[in-house]
Amino acid sequence: MGAEALPRNDEIAAAAVSSHPLIIGLQPAALVDHVAPVDWSLLEQIPGDPGGSVPVAIEELVHILEDVKAHMLPSSDELSPMKTMAGGSVANTIRGLSAGFGVSCGIIGAYGDDEQGKLFVGNMSFSGVNLSTLRMKQGHTAQCICLVDKSGNRTMRPCLSSAVKIQADELTKEDFKGSKWLVLRYAIFNLDVIQAAIRIAKQEDLLVSLDLASFEMVRNFRSSLLQLLESGDIDLCFANEDEATELLRGEQTSDPEAAANFLAKHCKWAVVTLGANGCIARHGKEIVRVPAIGESKATDATGAGDLFACGFLYGLVKGLSLEECCKVGACSGGSVIRALGGEVTPENWQWMYKQMQIKGLPLPDNRK
């Protein structure tokens, strides 16, 4: 699987005691998630398609939060059905790699000098993430409402417009120095920061992982995404089935295998996740299909793709085969959908370790 480009296990151990994390994530704006189980009637009232991710203004976010309180479904195991935690796709992946797999990780971005900023820092720090490249700025921290229906499907409404974030000209080589992987999420409003990060990362010999974010982002800003992919600077790309469909819109075939083949033309590793149907991945001429692991019905699909990426990246840094990387991803992705939110509970990490053990996969050194 191109192991020559991957860090060896002795490098993983060295990174654990180094000030430079093995994997660094770029999330320009720190984000706090408000995750709540709601009935379908609320989803019909808010703007945008159910199941997608549509940015909202702060006034609308406050309005939705008020409506959520009237539409929340009861939760048997929680004092309050709503959960608030550090969020964002990159943060979910980085936190999972650190807390669940013991991989040395850091995050580049900015948070506000408010309560949400304190919560983000506290949550990520508790999970062992290196925050030396996270900047505090005066202003608001980004927030996102994650509405989860009875089927476990989530609808996201992020509020990013007034939030502080890191700018392209604030990135330095020191932010990336000594790391092996850069983890990114596609976003048109962060494109300048993403491009600057990739440029520095490649100067520092980092491999780059890109998540396609949402089907709306691919649908509305496909040409910029294609330019990013065609640059040849993306080494690993993750897409879910809806994003893959939008990516190949207008092509003769738009099935997941066609999407994996398309992405593999530009990336060393291409992965299309298929929810309850597992995933399909390609590396060079090798193509594998791996079934999903865990519950047939998700409690909450929030973070499923982020945690799949976390397991897949763990497999890569351990030098596992393509199929094994997918299996670890299926285990970690399956662990997060067992509870609300994009953060895996201690009980569900134990569930994941058991699944990995059953499948003969190498367990993380940090497991408790």
Identify the DSSP state of 168: G
Does the pLDDT at position 122 exceed 80? yes
Higher pLDDT, 28 or 334: 28
Look at residue 279 and tell me whether its pLDDT is greater than 80. Answer: yes
Average pLDDT over the chain reads 88
More confident residue, 300 or 29: 29
Q: What's the whole-number mean pLDDT along residues 248-271?
A: 91
Question: Is residue 35's pLDDT more than 50?
Answer: yes
Tell me, what's the pLDDT at 301?
64
Which range has the top average pLDDT, 42-51, 156-165, 309-318? 309-318
pLDDT at 367 > cutoff 90: no
pLDDT at 78 over 70: no
Q: Look at residues 30, 28, 25, 26 and name the one whose alpha carbon lies nearest to residue 117.
A: 30
pLDDT at 79 over 60: no
- Per-residue confidence band for 74, with pLDDT thresholds at 50, 70 and 90: low
pLDDT of residue 73: 66
Residues 220/188, Cβ–Cβ less than 8 Å: yes
Alpha helices (runs of H) in the chain, residue ranges in sequence order: 9-17, 40-45, 58-71, 89-101, 115-126, 173-176, 191-203, 215-220, 222-230, 241-247, 256-264, 304-317, 322-336, 346-358
- Secondary element (H or E) of residue 207: strand 207-211
User: Given a cut of 90, is residue 43 above it in pLDDT?
Assistant: no
> Could you read off the pLDDT of 144-196 as tens digits, one per residue?
998 888 877 788 899 988 899 999 999 999 999 999 999 999 999 999 999 99
Q: Give residue 296's pLDDT.
A: 52
361 DSSP β-pair partners:
none
pLDDT of residue 283: 98
Which whole number is the average pLDDT over 42-57? 82
Query: Does residue 132 carry a pLDDT above 90?
Result: yes
Verdict on whether the full-model pTM lies above 0.85: yes
What confidence tier does 3 reach under pLDDT thresholds 50, 70, 90? very low
Res 16: pLDDT: 44
The confidence score (pLDDT) of residue 6 equals 47
Amino acid letter for position 179: S
Please say if the pLDDT value at position 209 is more than 80. Answer: yes
For residue 34, what are the contacts with CB-CB under 8 A and spacing of at least 6? Answer: 65, 68, 82, 83, 84, 143, 144, 145, 146
Residue with the bigger pLDDT between 81 and 67: it is 67
d(CA 68, CA 189): 27
**Tens-digit pLDDT profile for residues 357-366:** 999 999 998 7
User: CA-CA distance, 78 to 227, in Å (whole number)?
Assistant: 45
Tell me the CA distances in angstroms from 5 to 2, 240, 318, one per residue in order. 6, 25, 12
Give long-range contacts, CB 8 A cutoff, 24+ apart: 166-170.
166/28, 166/29, 166/108, 166/109, 166/110, 166/135, 166/193, 167/193, 168/192, 168/193, 168/195, 168/196, 168/197, 169/196, 170/135
Q: Which domains does the chain have, with CATH numbers?
A: 27-67+76-166 (3.40.1190.20)
Average pLDDT over residues 106-122: 97
Of 285, 278, 358, nearest in space to 326 by CA: 278
Residues sharing a CB contact under 8 Å with residue 119, sequence separation 6 or more, in sequence order: 32, 84, 85, 86
Q: In this model, does residue 98 exceed pLDDT 90?
A: yes
DSSP one-letter code for 321 = -
Gap between the Cα atoms of 73 and 150, Å rounded: 9
pLDDT at 38: 84
